[in-house]
Amino acid sequence: MGRLAATEGLTEVQRDILATVREFVDKEILPVATELEHRDEYPAKIVEGMKDLGLFGLTIAEEYGGLGESLLTYALVVEEIARGWMSVSGIINTHFIVAHLLAHHGTDEQRARLLPRMATGEVRGAFSMSEPGMGSDVAALRTRARRDGDEYVLNGQKMWLTNGGSANLVAVLCRTDDGHEAPHKNLTTFLIEKEPGFGTVAPGLTIPGKIDKMGYKGVDTTEMILDDHRLPGEAVLGGATGRGFYQMMDGIEVGRVNVAARGCGVAMRAFELGIAYAQQRRTFGKPIAEHQAIAFKLAEMGTKVEAAHQMMVMAARRKDGGRRNDLEAGMAKYLASEYCKEVVEDSFRIHGGYGYAKEYEIERLYREAPMLLIGEGTAEIQKTIIARRLLEEFGTR
């Protein structure tokens, strides 16, 4: 792709990984993505291919059987996969967040038991915070975990679980009675192990079925109903209650970099489609790319692809360096998702009437891009986070 969205300073290993993933995307994902998406079919063969490549263990430490790669490497891999089909990147995103939570907050026993199987893809993760009436207000969380001897009894309804059906490990945030005045200190993350599938997948745990969505198809997005679901004390992430809010926010920071990477990948594909079509389609005796109106669109699209990519890389590198990155992750997520929507729409406009036809790939991208405006926090939430951090940095009091 020439100079567009290039990343400086990568190691030879990182370059080899990205080259392998790009080849996989071009050969195994792009040729089938639109067909599978239109059928809302889970990409089982693609998932098996990702297992073979070791992508489910990309960031898991080598001592647990993973590749031990950085967040930057992972984000760049996600960018490549989303370029092929955004739904596939969703399959590994929540898995990666759960692996990150285990690696940074789990007990020794939890890491030793789960991470090796997560690295191979035998155990697949899902991540659950949202509820029907909660939205971005974490303090409104209602799902409760009641202590009963050495066990916890969970009751409530969770919403918007990516991989809710296909996963067999769910990190779920619940309210616990820890006696703190601040609501966020009474939240705990539990690790629920269940059978893949729909219906009753564990005693007191139901996955009703897939939510029918406008886009982001193929990947299963579900509810989860907890009705006196019992868990042992060992299922508490990290072994102590009351830490769930901080654990989940750490996971969300990583997730926002991921969503930014997805936005970059989808925007890149939309740009590829738009610039190719603009050189093929002719009007008034010349390719439409030679008309100034279209040339200006291409210039704006390329600039947005580049800007979003560099912002995403900066946020990932800051997290890899062990520094706080909520400001940069929020900026990257906000910028990449907004630019993705704009680049996709411009590519759609370049395609004219053909962009509205299902046989053209841009039609799929046009339905996928809006999810990025919502996932891992809306634009309004990102701007709230960004403003708070800027006021901390530049406050006059």
Partnered with residue 210 across adjacent β-strands are 222
Instruction: State how far the alpha carbon of 147 is from the alpha carbons of 131, 155, 228, 230, 241, in Å.
Output: 21, 12, 11, 10, 11
Instruction: State how far the alpha carbon of 329 is from the alpha carbons of 7, 138, 162, 252, 341, in Å.
Output: 17, 19, 21, 9, 18
Tally of residues, the chain: 397
Alpha-helix residue ranges (DSSP H) falling in 281-325: 292-320
Taking Cα atoms as reference points, which of 220, 228, 204, 95 lies closest to residue 160? 220
Residue 376 known to be catalytic: yes
- Lookup: tokens for 294: 């279209």
Cα dihedral sign, 39-135-173-116: positive
Terminal C-alpha separation, the chain = 48
| DSSP secondary structure of 35-83 | HHHHHT---HHHHHHHHHHTGGGSSS-GGGTS----HHHHHHHHHHHHH
Given 376, 380, 392, 393, which residue is catalytic?
A: 376
Catalytic residues: 376
